Amino acid sequence: MTQNKAVLNWIDEMTAMTKPDKIVWIDGSEEQLEALRAEACSTGEMIKLNQEKLPGCYYHRTAVNDVARVEDRTFICTPTKEEAGPTNNWVEPSEMYDRLNKLYDGAMKGRTCYVLPYSMGPVGSPFAKYGIELTDSIYVVLNMNIMTRIGNKVLEALGDSPDFIKGLHAKKDIDAENRYIVHFPQDNAIYSINSGYGGNVLLGKKCFALRIASHLGREEGWMAEHMLILGIEYPNGETKYLAAAFPSACGKTNLAMLIPPEIYRKKGYKVWTVGDDIAWIRIGKDGRLYACNPEYGFFGVAPGTNEKSNPNALASTRKNSIFTNVVMTADGGVWWEGLDKNPPRGVLNWKGEPWDPDDGTPGAHPNSRFTAPAINCPCISPEFENPDGVPLSAIIFGGRRAKTAPLVYQARDWDHGVFVGSAMASETTAAAAGAVGVVRRDPMAMIPFCGYNMGDYWQHWIDMGKKISHQPAIFNVNWFRLDEDGHFIWPGFGDNFRVLLWIMARAEGKIDAVETPIGFIPKPEDIDLEGLDYDICDGHKFTIEDLKGILKVETPYWLEDLENLKEFYAKFEEGKVPKELKDEIEALEKRLKG
Ligand code: GTP
Ligand code: SPV
Ligand code: MN
């Protein structure tokens, strides 16, 4: 426990409001966690899986109305609406506190309130920030134990300091109408009520490490980004790092754990995973950008994960993991669409109903997830716990675009790169409640996660560029171009390594490229296609002609997209979109019409 007055007073205040029967401090010990697992199994909240096949693994189903982040119920309650900006939901803070106080009144009656101290970033490192989550869910405690560093060591590191992020989570009635995910950046506070699903309730993740942290980063001169971090080890033993921002369910976990094609493995190339979802980025003493993964585990999309697409992710889930909303088999195993081609029979679907694979419904929810310890990952980077992070040579933006965006292009310079990030758009996925497959603007993959006005966020990016002596090169990728029949053209997954090598060669100024109105694209012969001689689909093999097709800049689509981007910029208050970005959009239009 702790003598920290700020912590104790806040807990008194919150528990006086929520009125739990019991308060239990989570110390992080294996004995206490094991007792909680047993308790959750005794009430049916969790199910122990087959311990021979999946040692230390558990299963959980959320309510059927509670299976994804809820962006329309997520609020950034800054003192003024302008501080939250046009892309966030906003309610005046005192009005929101009134609403919440009513909802939380007695919300934990008959329940236990767990006090969960956690750290984002290695405890005691320059990156680390501490939080305490009060929650009435054992599922949350057990997931946070995988996703973050928890327990007494965090309280010790915090000492008497009042500098911690306050998080209050109550499951209440899982009532979708009264679900709230609320952030008060000025108070370092997060409130979550009426949900029990991942991103809504594991408050260290999107709520703290992105929404609150992006606000802190702006004030303190660093950045919190929705980015994976990976290292490429070259045959000479050197390792270079990059970070990449893709929207939810657009391939971060897959890219972070990529296994290079055989021809490269034979030469001695290797990819190391530093992070798969969030990067905190600071300026190092040498003037370069350094990135650290504040998380301790992976909360990954299950469907589509298999021995071929992402063997490292699959291996990470084989012990001490939690599976949410997947299929549970009769012998206590798990299954999801895309795991293999043999759907099991006599099983229960994500809703807990007997499921027949032939009935046309998915067995696992499309946003079903695994929670796996990062240390389980066979390719976890030796730098994973480096308190100073890893130096970035390149930053990649990307999205899911059937048309428009080419496979890869490089921005002209930092400011143009920030523009490219601001111009990101992607088809929506099952990671958030709402329609799937609709193109929406998603600058830097941060539209659901930026804790302040996105115009100010862009300015922060521009300003950071001015403060660093070595700016990483900035790129945009799109693995998701479709042909007329709706098939992916680019093979993707491990073969994305071919594009990463071009990116790194460009970042180091080692090869030429073709200048186009949108930036630099590869000479087709500079993307090595050796070994890409397998069937992608229906007997089709990827050819240099296909490559040329997906590298083409389709001017009419770009001009159309520019109009859409202008409308998006126009949503911002006068003067909020940085002048640098306005200059970039004008220059791009000129070059395209050139
Ligand atoms: P969040 O955890 O929601 O932030 O998602 P993420 O960005 O980590 O996405 P993830 O790697 O889990 O991939 C999501 C989906 O995209 C899965 O169904 C993958 O199979 C698919 N996917 C990932 N990489 C590729 C790729 O290179 N090509 C294609 N076609 N699909 C991919
Ligand atoms: C995402 O949606 O980007 C995720 C999953 O990584 S969640 O934790 O639900 O936000
Ligand atoms: Mn994510």
pLDDT tens per residue across span 54-79: 999 999 999 999 999 999 999 999 99
d(CA 295, CA 316): 15
- Annotated active-site residue 250? The verdict is yes
Mean of pLDDT over the chain: 97
pLDDT of 275: 98
**Token pair of 234 as six digits:** 């070259």
d(CA 577, CA 584): 11
Q: What is the pLDDT of residues 387-426, one digit of tens each?
A: 999 999 999 999 999 988 999 999 999 999 999 999 999 9
pLDDT above 90: residue 541: no
Q: Is the CB of 500 under 6 A from ligand 1?
A: no
Element at 11 (helix H, strand E): helix 5-18
pLDDT above 80: residue 499: yes
Residue nearest to atom 10 of ligand 2 (CA): 199
Give the model's confidence band at 540: pLDDT under 50 very low, under 70 low, under 90 confident, else very high: confident
| Among 206, 305, 322, 428, residue to substitute to test ligand 2 (most atoms within 8 Å of Cβ) | 206
d(CA 244, CA 473): 12
The percentage of residues in the chain with a pLDDT greater than 90, rounded to a whole number, is: 97
Partners of 241 in beta bridges: 231, 392
CATH number of the domain located at residue range(s) 297-376 in this protein: 2.170.8.10
The percentage of residues in the chain with a pLDDT greater than 70, rounded to a whole number, is: 100
Q: What is the pLDDT of residues 303-355, one digit of tens each?
A: 999 999 999 999 999 999 999 999 999 999 999 999 999 999 999 999 999 99
Residue nearest to atom 23 of ligand 1 (CA): 251
pLDDT of 305: 97
Three-state DSSP at 477 gives: strand
Domain layout of the chain by residue ranges: 5-44+70-220, 225-295+382-593, 297-376
pLDDT of 463: 98
pLDDT (mean) for 520-535: 93
d(CA 563, CA 565): 5
Is the domain 5-44+70-220 a CATH 3.40.50.300 member? no
Residue nearest to atom 27 of ligand 1 (CA): 492
Q: What is the pLDDT of residues 18-63, one digit of tens each?
A: 999 999 999 999 999 999 999 999 999 999 999 999 999 999 999 9
Q: Is the CB of 205 under 6 A from ligand 2?
A: yes
Choosing from 113, 250, 377, 379, the catalytic residue is 250
d(CA 572, CA 169): 32
pLDDT of 162: 98
| SS (HEC) of 185-206 | HHHCEEEEECCCCHHHHCCHHH
213-220 vs 454-467: helix crossing angle, rounded to 10: 40
CA of 252 to the centre of ligand 1 (A): 6
Q: Cα dist. 326→335, 360, 374 in Å? A: 6, 16, 20
d(CA 536, CA 203): 40
pLDDT above 90: residue 1: no
Q: Is the CB of 488 under 6 A from ligand 1?
A: yes
CA of 209 to the centre of ligand 2 (A): 12
- Shortest-distance atom of ligand 2 to CA 247: 3
Residue nearest to atom 19 of ligand 1 (CA): 304
CATH number of the domain located at residue range(s) 225-295+382-593 in this protein: 3.90.228.20
Least confident of 173-177, 274-278, 537-541, 579-583: 537-541
pLDDT of 535: 80
